[in-house]
């Protein structure tokens, strides 16, 4: 019963990469320089949209629906939801969830138009997730959105809309983790009426006769048993301990590779060659799957230079890179903040809710996102934001209003965000202790552990000799900015102070130890008040 599927390719299917300046090694890739367009953009939106949005039950559904008990040994919420709404995972697995996803209201032109008005300068579409399903006309993965589900090439549609609205286009690739992430699909219930019955992870092509997926091999989706639990577990503790021992967030090629790593490379190369993105986002700690990831990075950079007549416009995002390896890509820190100003451009990716749409979820406020955006930009970073998309391809009312409110803010404060660079220090505040310039990877902090940003915090950006000072709230009384006194080495004599977005005259004076600004009577936003400062020297 136990099996490992084998992906068979013709003799011609091998690693072939575009020739050019970049070789498939970190030594060569360290010559990479982040393009100015990315540094100027500051804000992008990602559409984290795929078949896991179909149940509208939140993140990692394709994995959690197979967990009868969660990691805390409680009844698995996604499993129970699935059992109630679809049936037992042995009879109705994630492969069948795919067939319920139709994206019938998906309108990429309308969505990207909203993203553009919200202030985005680049847009990334998810090409596949850990569920191993390709959202494009994939040459090497038959489980894709053209063959089933929506029966549409989503990546093609997203790219056309992005280009039409003048946004840089990118794709995200998460599929290098599918081989270990899907192992729960090969497990079984340890109790209840279906005790011991294996889930549909072991389904094969011949099992599809007479079913909607006839002719397709589920082993191309799931993708082969690498460490399925043996039969006979009687308790949830036994099953949990098995996966604790055997499963992990692997970044390596599968120990008994069945052609999976080569197939990943060929799929990603097909994606890059067909859709020619300027951003390639990897949900990986470093470049995926060892040498395959290095080869992919080399191919992408060399190809991108060719597409742009010898000028490299491409950006690769990867995570948890050390100070040497991260010179080859733009570091991304997911749902985290940096407490340091970074010498090298970086990115935070975040979502206002669950990455995959969840009904009745609690969303982050637009004020929270705006304050974090200013904080990120002051530290030499970009913000990539996800707005969850419903199963049918539409947004809910809160999300539409969120985007409108964000766009109104950018209309006023965009001049202090776009095309800016960090100042000597990122800011100051009551609890700020460290403004040292260093690598963001050393300063990553989880959002929940970061202190809330408030009116007591000031953040700086610069452009063309002008300094912008953001107060992260609606100030009262006076605003004291110590870094702008006459005596500190970093400051110069100030010539003018103006309020961004307001013509009202600003009352201010520069003392030896601080700049004192009288809080304006009128502010444009309750989230930020910004001042445009010019110098005599």
DSSP symbol at 98: H
Task: Provide the whole-model pTM.
Answer: 0.96
* pLDDT digits 0-9 by tens, 98-112: 999 999 999 999 999
Would you say residue 422 has pLDDT above 70? yes
Average pLDDT over residues 61-78: 96
Bridge partners of 533? Answer: 467, 497
What is the predicted pLDDT for the residue at 10? 47
Structural domains in the chain (count): 1
Which strands make up the sheet holding 529-535, listed edge to edge? 427-428, 458-463, 466-471, 529-535, 494-499
**Is there a domain that residue 451 lies in?**
yes
**Is there a domain that residue 503 lies in?**
yes
**Is there a domain that residue 236 lies in?**
no
What is the predicted pLDDT for the residue at 446? 74
Q: What percent of the chain has pLDDT over 90?
A: 88
**Is there a domain that residue 277 lies in?**
no
Whether 400 and 366 have beta carbons less than 8 Å apart is answered as: no
* Of 135-144, 285-294, 414-423, 429-438, the least confident: 429-438
Question: What is the C-alpha to C-alpha distance for residues 477 and 336, in angstroms, rounded to an integer?
Answer: 33
**Is there a domain that residue 121 lies in?**
no
433 band by pLDDT with thresholds 50, 70 and 90:
low
* pLDDT digits 0-9 by tens, 453-478: 999 999 999 999 999 999 999 999 99
CATH classification of the domain holding 487: 2.60.40.1180
**Is there a domain that residue 495 lies in?**
yes
**Is there a domain that residue 169 lies in?**
no
Domain span holding position 475: 427-535
Would you say residue 65 has pLDDT above 70? yes
* pLDDT digits 0-9 by tens, 373-413: 999 999 999 999 999 999 999 999 999 999 999 999 999 99
Instruction: Give 131-171 as a DSSP string.
Output: T--BSS--SS-SSBTTTSTT-S-HHHHHHHHHHHTT-EEEE
Would you say residue 88 has pLDDT above 80? yes
**Is there a domain that residue 483 lies in?**
yes
Bridge partners of 515? Answer: 481, 510
Whether 51 and 101 have beta carbons less than 8 Å apart is answered as: yes
């Amino acid at each position: 019963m136990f099996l490992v599927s084998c992906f068979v390719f013709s003799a011609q299917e091998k690693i072939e990469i575009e020739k050019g300046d970049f070789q498939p090694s970190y030594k060569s890739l360290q010559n990479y320089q982040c393009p100015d367009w990315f540094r100027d953009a500051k804000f992008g939106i990602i559409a984290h949209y795929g078949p896991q949005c179909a149940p509208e039950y939140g993140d990692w559904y394709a994995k959690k629906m197979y967990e009868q008990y969660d990691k805390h040994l409680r009844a698995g919420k996604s499993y129970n939801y699935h059992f109630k709404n679809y049936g037992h995972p042995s009879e109705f697995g994630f492969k069948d969830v795919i067939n319920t996803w139709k994206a019938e209201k998906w309108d990429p032109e309308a969505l990207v138009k909203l993203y553009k008005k919200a202030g985005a300068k680049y847009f990334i579409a998810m090409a596949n997730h850990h569920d191993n399903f390709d959202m494009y006309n994939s040459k090497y993965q038959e489980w894709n959105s053209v063959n089933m589900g929506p029966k549409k090439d989503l990546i093609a549609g997203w790219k056309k809309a992005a280009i039409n609205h003048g946004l840089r286009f990118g794709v995200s690739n998460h599929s290098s983790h599918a081989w270990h992430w899907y192992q729960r699909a090969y497990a079984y219930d340890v109790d209840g009426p279906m005790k011991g019955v294996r889930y549909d992870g072991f389904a094969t092509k011949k099992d599809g006769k007479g079913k909607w997926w006839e002719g397709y091999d589920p082993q191309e989706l799931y993708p082969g048993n690498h460490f399925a639990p043996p039969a006979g577990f009687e308790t949830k503790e036994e099953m949990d301990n098995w996966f604790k021992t055997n499963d992990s967030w692997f970044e390596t090629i599968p120990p008994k590779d069945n052609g999976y790593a080569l197939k990943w490379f060929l799929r990603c190369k097909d994606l890059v060659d067909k859709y020619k993105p300027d951003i390639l986002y990897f949900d990986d700690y470093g470049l995926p799957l060892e040498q395959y990831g290095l080869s992919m990075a080399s191919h992408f950079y060399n190809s991108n230079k060719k597409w742009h007549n010898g000028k490299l416009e491409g950006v690769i995002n990867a995570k948890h890179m050390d100070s040497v390896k991260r010179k080859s890509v733009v570091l991304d820190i997911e749902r985290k903040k940096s407490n340091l100003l970074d010498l090298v451009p970086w990115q935070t990716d975040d979502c206002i809710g669950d990455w995959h749409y969840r009904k009745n979820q609690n969303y982050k406020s637009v004020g929270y996102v705006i304050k974090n955006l200013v904080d990120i930009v002051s530290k030499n970073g970009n913000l990539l934001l996800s707005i969850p998309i419903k199963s049918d391809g539409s947004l809910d009312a809160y999300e539409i209003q969120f985007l409108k409110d964000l766009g109104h803010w950018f209309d006023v404060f965009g001049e202090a965000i776009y095309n800016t660079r960090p100042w000597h220090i990122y800011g100051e505040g009551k609890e700020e202790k460290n403004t040292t310039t260093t690598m963001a990877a050393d300063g990553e902090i989880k959002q929940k552990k970061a202190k809330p940003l408030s009116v007591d915090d000031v953040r700086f950006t610069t452009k063309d000799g002008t300094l912008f000072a953001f107060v992260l709230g609606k100030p009262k009384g006076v605003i004291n900015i110590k870094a702008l006194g006459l005596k500190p080495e970093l400051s110069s004599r100030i010539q003018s102070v103006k309020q961004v977005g307001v013509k009202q005259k600003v009352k201010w004076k520069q003392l030896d130890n601080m700049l004192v600004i009288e809080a304006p009577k009128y502010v444009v936003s309750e989230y930020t008040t910004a001042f445009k400062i010019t110098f005599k020297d």
